[in-house]
Amino acid sequence: MTQFGIDVSADDIIDSLSFFDNWEERYKYIIDLGKELPPMPESYRTDEFLVRGCQSQVWLVDEWRDNRLFFLADSDAFIVKGLLGVVLAAFNGKTPGDILGFDIDAYFARLDLLQHLSSTRGNGLKAMVKRIKDKAAATH
3-state secondary structure (DSSP) of residue 100: helix
* CA–CA distance, 70 with 94 (Å, rounded to integer): 7
**Residue 66, by phi and psi: left (phi above 0), alpha (psi -120 to 50) or beta?**
left
Could you confirm whether 54 is annotated as catalytic?
A: yes
> What does the alpha-carbon distance between residue 37 and residue 72 come to, in Å, rounded to a whole number?
8
Q: Which of 54, 58, 80, 88 is catalytic?
A: 54
State the catalytic residues. 54
